[in-house]
Amino acid sequence: MNVRITNGMLLALVMNVIYAKAIGITQGIIAREVASDMWLSTLIGMLQGIAAAWLTARVIRMGGQASMIDIASKAAGKWAGKLIAAVLLLFFTGAFATVLVTFTYHLMDYFLPEAPVILFVVAALAVGLYGAYHGVEVMGRMAFVGVFSILILNILVMMGSIAEFDVKNLLPVMDSGLARTVWASRHFDTDWSLATMMIAILLPHVKKPQRWGRASAVSILFAGLTVAIWPILETGVLSAEATREYIVACMQLARSAHIGLFLHRYEMIMVAFFATSSLIQIMMSLFCASVCASKIVGVNDYRLLLLPTALLLGGTGYWIVADHLRAMIFTADYWPLFAVPVAIGIPLLIGGISMLRRNKEPAV
């Protein structure tokens, strides 16, 4: 894959990859743990994500400007690289399932309750295959449209909610305590984990290596700020007690938004903007999983493994999404315990191995 993308495309991709699930499913889960402190947990998670993104970019630059998988292969041998690729393939399979939960429940629970789950899975895979086949440059350009959609969506929801906003719902601040608030941030950590693992694969194909660290960190910062608006509005408008009762809390906020006396129930417009970000999440999860699969098999062209990878991701996603309880248990309980250690542990492990290897090399 010889394609080169700009730092702006990377920023747009990161914002889209984080946004949809973070406002859709994550905030309701956080609200069930820390109530009105959900916005604080999101901001704390954003700071952790900035550090993780910078660390990932630093390790890649230090390792010879190759992907995390290739760095592992050079530092510890071919099978170490394949092992890292297998772990990342498992990671993107789980990430795709959580993204599919967001995509499916947005549409099925609120607009198409009689539609079968398989319809949403097939539609998601079809769009994902189309974007992944055309490559990261095409998806990067689409991500600019996604950023525009994110900004318009945030503006619409702020305009429609500000009249009902009650700052008293945000008080008292830190009511859940610092430890619980920080612990609850692990749910938002799973959102930036997908972005940092995408960075671990994409960054060698981004122009201007000297800006990688700053671009990666700033991408998480911008994504976090666009997301943080939602828990603040959900708490101030709906209240934390109401937010925690919904699987897709952002849709309830969208349904309550109105501008003046005559413009009500314009959530369909907002869903159209939201869908762009959600579909880019699906495309990037499938793309990154296919790249990992190609590294395991030893194939240069990831497109050869797009279809088998889509079947793996689609089958796993369907099994999880088909049952609401299973989907929420996986997303809230099991997924953070796997995603966050992988997103933090792999850069630390590969960075440590690279440093040890560099120190052992004899000076010329």
- What are the DSSP calls for 147-166, one per residue? HHHHHHHHHHHHHHHGGG--
Which amino acid does the sequence have at 214? R
Q: Which residues of 142-163 are buried (b: 16+ CB within 10 A; e: fewer)?
A: bbbebbebbeebbebbeebbee
- Does residue 198 lie within any of the structural domains? yes
- Does residue 23 lie within any of the structural domains? yes
- Does residue 359 lie within any of the structural domains? no
Q: Which of 318, 38, 23, 278 is nearest to 154 (CA)?
A: 23
Question: pLDDT tens digits, residue range 325-342?
Answer: 999 999 999 999 999 999
Q: How many domains does the chain divide into? A: 1
- Does residue 143 lie within any of the structural domains? yes
Interatomic CA distance for residues 162 and 237, integer angstroms: 8
Interatomic CA distance for residues 266 and 72, integer angstroms: 49
Interatomic CA distance for residues 93 and 160, integer angstroms: 36
Prior bond of 172 cis (ω within 30°): yes
- Does residue 319 lie within any of the structural domains? yes
**What kind and span of H or E run contains 263?**
strand 263-264
Which amino acid does the sequence have at 24? G
What is the domain extent for residue 296? 7-354
Burial class (CB in 10 A: 0-12, 13-18, 19+), 164: middle
Question: pLDDT tens digits, residue range 28-53?
Answer: 999 999 999 999 999 999 999 999 99
76 vs 200, residue with greater confidence:
200
Reading the block at residue 68, the tokens are 């995390």
pLDDT of residue 254: 82
- Does residue 189 lie within any of the structural domains? yes
- Does residue 362 lie within any of the structural domains? no
CATH number at residue 76: 1.20.1740.10
SS3 39: helix
What is the Rg, in whole angstroms, of the alpha carbon atoms belonging to the chain?
A: 20
Q: Lowest-confidence range among 61-75, 97-111, 130-144, 234-248?
A: 61-75
Question: pLDDT tens digits, residue range 233-285?
Answer: 999 999 988 889 888 888 888 888 777 666 666 677 777 888 889 999 999 99
Q: Which of 156, 217, 171 is nearest to 192 (CA)?
A: 217
- Does residue 1 lie within any of the structural domains? no
Which amino acid does the sequence have at 19? Y
Report the pLDDT averaged over residues 337-354: 93
- Residue 112: CB atoms within 10 Å: 12
- Average pLDDT of the chain to the nearest whole number: 91
Question: pLDDT tens digits, residue range 296-321?
Answer: 999 989 999 999 999 999 999 999 99
